[in-house]
Amino acid sequence: MDPVRRLNNNALTGPTMQAAGVGPRRVPVAPTRVAAAALPVPRPLVPANGPQRVQKQKYEIKADLRKPPSHQPSSQAVVAKENVKSKPAVSEIHVAQVPSKSSDPSSQNAPDYISEDNKSSEKKRWTLDNFDIGRPLGKGKFGNVYLARERQSKFILALKVLFKCQIEKAGVEHQLRREVEIQAHLRHPNILRLYGYFHDAARVYLILEYAPKGELYSELQKCVRFDDQRSATYITELSDALLYCHSRGVIHRDIKPENLLLDGTGQLKIADFGWSVHAPSSRRTTLCGTLDYLPPEMIEGRMHDEKVDLWSLGVLCYEFLVGKPPFETTTHDETYRKISKVEFTFPPFTSEGSRDLISKLLKHNPKERLPLNQVLVHPWILANSTKQPTFMHEKDSVQPVPESSAKQ
């Protein structure tokens, strides 16, 4: 059966179904310290437009693009405001609507007018009429993601539909603009492509690369934990993509399983750049990201730079191998305390090599964290990863780092 149904006006007539890859979600919290309180299984999250981990529930998504989501953003979900002189309206986002030509394999099958700059004076002006809309792929705070097909080329993609009223109510117009500006100009096989965007009076549409296998977090839930080979392969792909981002002055700041997708071949893709920043000064103070993944310098309110992504990489590697993050507790204050003290232990089934790598990434002093180019040549990575990095600074000429006594 054709996986993509035709859009009738602005509404879909296909049956409702559960969104793929939604999974349990995280619980948002305010960016200030809160009193200790017993929490259920869900993890806390600092304010961000990110997923929340709660018990998976079935729900229906009405594929009607004319109406905003029925749920209202919680007051806790309002993102911490950054120093922005003027906050542009959603309709004032300005970015190249068609990304430049790239050797990225993810764009090789996209038609020229989708994946490359138009050489003519007029650029392609997208509208909803250019696409057939199919089943929902996911549900977010400000809208939904749908499987879609460009009508002329039959190219399959994902269409992220965001409602302006919800974005403006939460005060995150600048966050959306930043996501579009950054992701539209990144070209790496482990970064989800943003082909372009368009908008109408009520909605903003992001034209995205389709990742058929969905969220990596859902895969981790299914498997409980990954073995050394699979974990090392994902860390290689992610480290290579982050090295590329950092070389262009981009800090991600919200690395976690929910923000990583898998394409049809199982290759990892960084998918959410809502908290990313261009960092010409390389120093930031905004509290953002997920509590379990926040580094000490951010929860302590100190300046931070691209080394926050190194900490998150260590937390992610631990969660891959163990099935839960290293600083997870039942209260916010206890999680803050453990992060600040870098207090965690390894289960006995973890290997010495993985312990060594994680311990070198989870350092309280950001300057002591293992650089990404050294992560890529760590003995545990070289012994287990099935992938080779595709990006490396030409000036980098590194030797594999020796393993040291890992934290027990």
Does residue 79 sit in the same domain as residue 172? yes
Residue 52 pLDDT class (50, 70, 90 cuts) = very low
* Pair 334, 36: CB distance under 8 Å: yes
- Give the per-residue pLDDT at 173: 87
- Give the per-residue pLDDT at 140: 76
Mean of all residue pLDDT scores within the chain: 74
Name the residue among 122, 120, 98 with its Cα closest to residue 110: 98
Lowest mean pLDDT among 114-123, 208-217, 290-299, 339-348: 114-123
Does residue 371 sit in the same domain as residue 223? yes
Work out the average pLDDT over 247-254: 86
- Give the per-residue pLDDT at 103: 40
**pLDDT top residue among 230 and 109:** 230
Lowest mean pLDDT among 92-101, 162-171, 322-331: 92-101
CATH number (domain holding residue 141): 3.30.200.20
Find the catalytic residue in 240, 254, 292, 356: 254
Residue owning tokens 């973890």:
350
- Give the per-residue pLDDT at 74: 39
Does residue 259 sit in the same domain as residue 165? no
Does residue 181 sit in the same domain as residue 227? no
- Give the per-residue pLDDT at 258: 86
Q: Is residue 46 part of a domain?
A: no
Work out the average pLDDT over 18-35: 46
Q: Is residue 395 part of a domain?
A: no
Q: Is residue 330 part of a domain?
A: yes
Q: Is residue 227 part of a domain?
A: yes
- Give the per-residue pLDDT at 48: 45
Work out the average pLDDT over 242-251: 90
Q: Is residue 56 part of a domain?
A: no
CATH number (domain holding residue 330): 1.10.510.10
For 251, the enclosing helix (H) or strand (E) is: strand 250-251
Does residue 100 sit in the same domain as residue 182? yes
Number of domains in the chain: 2
* DSSP single-letter state for residue 394: T
Question: What percent of the chain lies above the pLDDT cut of 90?
Answer: 44
Burial, 151: exposed, middle or buried (Cβ in 10 Å; 0-12, 13-18, 19+)? Answer: middle
Does residue 228 sit in the same domain as residue 260? yes
Lowest mean pLDDT among 74-78, 224-228, 299-303: 74-78
Q: Is residue 54 part of a domain?
A: no
Give the residue from 208, 235, 255 where a domain finishes: 208
- Give the per-residue pLDDT at 334: 92
Does residue 302 sit in the same domain as residue 372? yes
CA distance 121 to 24: 46
Give the residue from 187, 208, 229 where a domain finishes: 208
- Give the per-residue pLDDT at 187: 92
Domain of residue 104 covers 71-208
How many degrees, rounded to 5, is the angle at CA 306 between CA 300 and CA 310? 80
Does residue 136 sit in the same domain as residue 253? no
How many other C-beta atoms can be found within 10 angstroms of the C-beta atom of residue 406? 17
How many other C-beta atoms can be found within 10 angstroms of the C-beta atom of residue 331? 15
Give the residue from 174, 208, 242 where a domain finishes: 208
**pLDDT top residue among 283 and 217:** 217
Q: State yes or no: is 272 an active-site residue.
A: no
Hey, is 321 helix, strand or coil? helix
Does residue 249 sit in the same domain as residue 315? yes
Q: Is residue 398 part of a domain?
A: no
Rg (CA), the chain: 21
The pLDDT of residue 189 is above 90: yes
Number of H helices, E strands in the chain: 11, 12
Question: Rounded to two decimals, what is the model's pTM?
Answer: 0.70
**Tokens linked to 402:** 């020796």
Residue 183 pLDDT class (50, 70, 90 cuts) = confident
Does residue 262 sit in the same domain as residue 300? yes
Does residue 204 sit in the same domain as residue 221? no
User: Could you tell me whether strands 44-45 and 27-28 are parallel, antiparallel, or unpaired per DSSP bridges?
Assistant: parallel
The pLDDT of residue 113 is above 80: no
Q: Is residue 25 part of a domain?
A: no
For 45, the enclosing helix (H) or strand (E) is: strand 44-45
Lowest mean pLDDT among 9-23, 120-134, 196-210, 262-276: 9-23
Does residue 136 sit in the same domain as residue 188? yes
Long-range contacts of 115-120 (CB under 8 A, 24+ apart): 115/193, 115/195
